[in-house]
């Protein structure tokens, strides 16, 4: 949590990006409101800082899925009571991140903060806001005429912008350059995408781990996330990023920040072209930008047991 009185971040993990975003918002606003509607306050922190050890891209993908499949109803999360409704709250955070992304992109930085402050006040005032009250503020802020018009625009954003921003997809790139192949596992690069093909013998499960960008900056330090993944079976050699692929899911991990930064889950992100049962092969691709901007060569990659 972020303690507002002292601006101290209290956390068992570091750096805790979600709480850092809360702090940066307070620094930006200078004169702080006592309370902000949770959907917007937490949505901004998810949009730029992620949550639960997961980066923003991972949670925005999840939020778009939860919203498209109506696992979270938008109206139900607009009020304080609705957002804080027990077990459903954890589902609402990713959708709140999508809403914050929509408002940020729609309004721009200059108009976003007035909308944020319009839903900020004393705690009792914000707690009393009804669904209709919040809808009215959002409609006015975005220049729409009705809530139905707002919803239609938001739906279009989720279908279009969120889909285009997705950092993962099933199947290998259509073309490109092979960066690494070890007989069973292949890494290719094609423009903005890194492709991974993982194969196994009949009766075995296709699974592999790839490590990227060995760095001397770790020194003697370890990565808690790396140790959690490999349980001592693979020594930590200072690689910054990892990609782990199996029959059901694939993830991209930042071992310096102990973060999941990209995820593909069979059934959530789709199923076509991911697992080929006939050839016992998995193919998946992730946006190249997840691994930073530096050039990537075969020498920057190694494979290790899953």
Which residue, among 162, 163, 172, 159, has the nearest Cα to 286 in the 3D structure?
172
In 3D space, the residue among 256, 229, 231, 253 whose CA is nearest the CA of residue 242 turns out to be 253
In the DSSP assignment, the letter for residue 218 is G
pLDDT tens digits, one per residue of 240-261:
999 999 999 999 999 998 999 9
Residues paired with 246 in a beta bridge: none
State phi, psi for 191 to the nearest 5 degrees.
65, -115
Q: Give just the sign of the alpha carbon dihedral 135, 138, 141, 143.
A: negative
Give residue 165's pLDDT. 79
Has residue 135 got a pLDDT over 90?
Answer: yes
Whether this prediction's pTM lies above 0.85 is answered by yes
In this prediction, residue 111 carries a pLDDT of 95
Average pLDDT over residues 30-57: 91
Q: What is the pLDDT of residues 78-115, one digit of tens each?
A: 999 999 875 677 889 999 999 999 999 999 989 999 99
Please determine, for residue 281, whether its predicted confidence score (pLDDT) is greater than 90: yes
With bands split at pLDDT 50, 70 and 90, how would you rate the model's confidence at 34? Answer: confident
Coil/strand/helix, residue 97: helix
pLDDT in the model for residue 46: 97
pLDDT reading at 12 higher than 80: no
Return d(Cα 89, Cα 87) in angstroms, integer: 5
Beta-carbon contacts of 184 under 8 Å, excluding residues fewer than 6 positions away, are 198, 199, 200, 208
Span 19-47, mean pLDDT?
A: 91
pLDDT at residue 86, as a whole number: 58
Provide mean pLDDT across the span 38-62: 93
**List of residues 6+ apart from 94 with CB closer than 8 A:** 46, 59, 60, 62, 63, 66
R_g of the chain, CA atoms, integer Å: 21
What integer pLDDT is reported at residue 88 of this predicted model?
76
Mean pLDDT (whole number) for 2-23: 84
Confidence band (pLDDT; 50, 70, 90) for 269? confident
Higher pLDDT, 50 or 268: 50
Amino acid 87: pLDDT: 61
* In the block, residue with structure tokens 């889909």: 163
Distance from C-alpha of 64 to C-alpha of 94, rounded to nearest angstrom: 8
Q: What is the pLDDT of residue 1?
A: 85
> Does residue 172 have a pLDDT over 90?
no
Q: Where does the chain have alpha helices with state H? A: 17-29, 38-49, 56-68, 80-83, 89-118, 123-127, 131-142, 147-157, 163-165, 224-230
Question: What's the CA gap between 86 and 142, in Å, rounded?
Answer: 30
Give the mean pLDDT of 202-219: 93
pLDDT interval class at 205 (50, 70, 90): very high
- Count of beta carbons in the 10 Å neighbourhood of residue 144: 17
pLDDT, position 90: 83
Which residues does residue 243 pair with via DSSP β-bridges, in sequence order?
210, 252
Give the pLDDT band (50/70/90) at residue 30: confident
Percent of the chain scoring above 90 in pLDDT:
71
């Amino acid at each position: 949590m972020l303690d507002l009185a002292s601006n101290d971040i209290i956390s068992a993990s570091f750096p805790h990006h979600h709480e850092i975003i809360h702090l940066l918002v307070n620094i930006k606003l200078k004169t702080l409101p006592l309370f902000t509607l949770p959907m917007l306050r937490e949505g901004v922190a998810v949009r730029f800082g992620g949550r639960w050890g997961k980066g923003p891209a991972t949670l925005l993908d999840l939020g778009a899925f939860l919203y498209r499949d109506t696992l979270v109803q938008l109206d139900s999360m607009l009020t304080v009571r609705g957002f804080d409704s027990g077990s459903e709250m954890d589902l609402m955070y990713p959708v709140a991140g999508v809403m914050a992304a929509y408002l940020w992109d729609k309004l721009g930085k200059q108009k976003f903060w007035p909308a944020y402050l319009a839903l900020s006040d004393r705690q009792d005032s914000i707690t009393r806001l009804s669904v209709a009250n919040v809808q009215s503020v959002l409609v006015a802020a975005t220049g729409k005429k009705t809530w139905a018009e707002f919803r239609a625009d938001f739906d279009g954003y989720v279908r279009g912008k969120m889909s285009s921003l997705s950092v993962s997809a099933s199947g290998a790139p259509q073309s490109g350059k092979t960066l690494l192949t070890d007989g069973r596992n292949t890494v290719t690069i094609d423009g903005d995408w890194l492709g991974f093909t993982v194969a196994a013998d009949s009766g075995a499960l296709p699974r592999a781990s790839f490590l990227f960008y060995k760095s001397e900056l770790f020194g003697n330090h370890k990565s808690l996330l790396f140790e959690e993944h490999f349980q001592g079976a693979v020594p930590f050699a200072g690689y910054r990023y990892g990609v782990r692929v199996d029959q059901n899911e694939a993830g991209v991990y930042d071992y310096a920040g102990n973060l999941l930064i990209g995820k593909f889950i069979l059934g959530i992100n789709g199923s076509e072209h991911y697992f080929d049962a006939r050839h016992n092969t998995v193919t998946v691709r992730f946006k190249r930008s997840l691994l930073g901007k530096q050039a990537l060569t075969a020498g920057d990659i190694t494979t290790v047991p899953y």
